[in-house]
Amino acid sequence: MARIVFIGAGSVEFTKNVLSDILTLPGLGASTLVLHDIDAGRLATAEAMAHWMVQHLGLPAKVEAHTDRRAAVDGADYVINEIAVGGYAATRIDFEVPARYGLRQTIGDTLGIGGIFRALRTIPVMVALGDDLAELAPHALLLNYTNPMSMVPRAVYEGTPFRNVVGICHSVRDTEARLARLVGVPEEEIGFVTAGVNHQAFVLRFERHGEDLYPRLAAAIGADPALRRTVRAEIFTRFGHFPTESSVHGSEYLPWFLRHDDQVEHFGVQVGAYLEWSRENLGTYEETRRRLAAGEGVEIEPMSELASEIIHSVETGERRIVHGNVRNDGLITNLPADAFVEVPCVVDRAGVRPTRVGAMPPQLAALNRTFLNVGELTVRAALEGRRDHVHHAAMLDPNAAATLTLAQIHDLVEDMIEAHGDALPEGIR
C-alpha cells in the first residue's frame, strides 16, 4: 500500500484532519503513515495520536515516526508538507517588527512583509526536501499546504531536480460553495471556472444552464448591508469577478484598505488576526496532548482534505476535479509562464493533470501580476542569496508601498533580517 509521509506532523490538529480522511476513505486504510517533525515532543504527540486512531478504527495501517527527514521520505509515494518554520516565535517577529513602523497585517503568510519573510525561512527547508525526494523518492507526489503558496512550490521546482509538486488550498472550493449558497442554487448545478493566483484567484465563469449567475449575486450583495461591507464584495464590485480569498486575508494583498483607518473600520478588517489564531492553536495542541495522555483519544471526523482526496483518486482511480497550484506554462496565457498558478486539475490514476484556462480578464491578470512580482523576487532572493532582492520585493509589495516610504521599507527589511537571523538563506542574513 501507499507510503504517505507527513512533513511537519507536529502540526497535530492539521495532521489529525488529514489522517481522519485517509483512515476513513475506502482503499487507504492499509497505508503506511510516516510522521516527521524536528520537534521530538510534538512528533511523539502526533505518533501517539496516529496509533490511537488506527487502533480505534481497527485498521491494518502502519505508523512510523522519524526526526530524520531522509529516513521518513525514503521510498515515499506521497509527501504532505505542512511545516511552519520558526513556529509562533517567528510569526510574532513577522507582525511585531512591521507594526513598529505602522504597517498593518492580518495573516502575514502569503504576501506582504510577513509573507516575504515566511518564504525566506521556508524555502531553504523546502529546497533540502526537494533534493531528498529527487534522490530517495523521485516518483513521489509532493502535496504542499505551506504558505506562501505562490512561492514555496515554485522554489522547489526551480531550486531542485524534483518537479512533481502541487500546492493545495481550500479557498477555491470554499468560495464556490459560498457563492452557491448566496444565489440559492445547488452547487452541483453550477458551472464554475475559477483560476488565478492562490489567495487571489477569481471566479471567471459562474452560470447555470447558460444563465450568468453574477447578476443574481450582485442582487444578493446589494440586499445585505453586512455583506456589502466586506473586502470581497468591494473587489467584486470594482473588478467584476468574485475573489477566492476571505476579506481579512485578501485585504493585505492590496494597497487600498489597511493603510486607511476608515477602511479598516468600514470593512471590519481584523488587524493581527493570525497572531490570535496562533495562540489559540497552542492551546489546542496542549489539549490534544492531555487527552492522549489520559487515554481519551481524539475525534475522528472526515474533513474532505484535498491531500487525502488526491491520494485516494490516484490510488483508486476515482476521478475528481480539484484546484491545484502548478507551474503555469501557458495554462493562463496572460500570466508569466514560470509562475505557479491555481487552476482546475483532473486527478485519477494518471496523477494530477492541470487544465488550460486561457486568458483571464485583463484587469484580473494585471492584479495577479502585482502579486506575482513580489513572489518572483522573493524566490530569487532565497535561491540566489540576494539580499537586494528582498528589498526589491518589499518595495513592490502593495500594502507596504501604500503605507511606508522607500526609506522606511529599507529600514524595516534590515530590521527583519536581523530579527530572523540564521533562519534566513545564506547571502541574506
Question: For the residues 393-410, what does the mean pLDDT come to?
Answer: 98
Q: What pLDDT, in 10s, does the model give residues 246-277?
A: 889 899 999 999 999 999 999 999 999 888 88
Is 169 annotated as contributing to ligand binding?
yes
> pLDDT confidence of 429, banded at 50, 70, 90?
confident
CA distance 148 to 293: 34
For position 238, what pLDDT does the model report? 97
- Is residue 285 a part of any domain in this protein? no
Q: What pLDDT, in 10s, does the model give residues 196-219?
A: 999 999 999 999 999 999 999 999
CA distance 77 to 71: 14
Q: What pLDDT, in 10s, does the model give residues 405-423?
A: 999 999 999 999 999 999 9
CA distance 176 to 194: 8
From residue 195, alpha-carbon distances to 149, 384, 389 in Å are: 14, 30, 28
- CATH code, 139: 3.40.50.720
- Is residue 147 a part of any domain in this protein? yes
CA distance 96 to 402: 19
For position 284, what pLDDT does the model report? 86
Show the cell assigned to 393. 520585493
From 51, 170, 266, 410, the catalytic residue: 170
Give the count of domains, the chain.
Answer: 1
Nearest to 4 by CA among 39, 30, 41: 30
- Is residue 205 a part of any domain in this protein? no
Evaluate if residue 78 carries a pLDDT over 90.
yes
- Is residue 325 a part of any domain in this protein? no
Question: For the residues 186-190, what does the mean pLDDT come to?
Answer: 96
Q: Domain range spanning residue 150?
A: 3-94+104-167
Q: Considering only residues 280 and 213, tell me which one the structure prediction assigns the higher pLDDT.
A: 213
Partners of 348 in the β-ladder: 351
Query: What are the residue ranges of helices labelled H in 140-230?
Result: 152-159, 171-183, 214-222, 225-228
- What are phi and psi for residue 124, nearest 5 degrees? -60, -35
Is 345 annotated as contributing to ligand binding?
no
Is 199 annotated as contributing to ligand binding?
yes
- Is residue 277 a part of any domain in this protein? no
- Is residue 34 a part of any domain in this protein? yes
Q: What pLDDT, in 10s, does the model give residues 38-77?
A: 999 999 999 999 999 999 999 999 999 999 999 999 999 9
- Is residue 306 a part of any domain in this protein? no
Sign of CA pseudo-dihedral 269, 270, 274, 278: negative
For position 358, what pLDDT does the model report? 98
Question: For the residues 311-328, what does the mean pLDDT come to?
Answer: 98
- Is residue 373 a part of any domain in this protein? no
CA distance 429 to 427: 6
For position 389, what pLDDT does the model report? 98
Partners of 193 in the β-ladder: 205
> pLDDT confidence of 104, banded at 50, 70, 90?
very high
3-state secondary structure of 273: helix
3-state secondary structure of 429: coil
170 is catalytic: yes
Evaluate if residue 185 carries a pLDDT over 90.
yes
> pLDDT confidence of 167, banded at 50, 70, 90?
very high
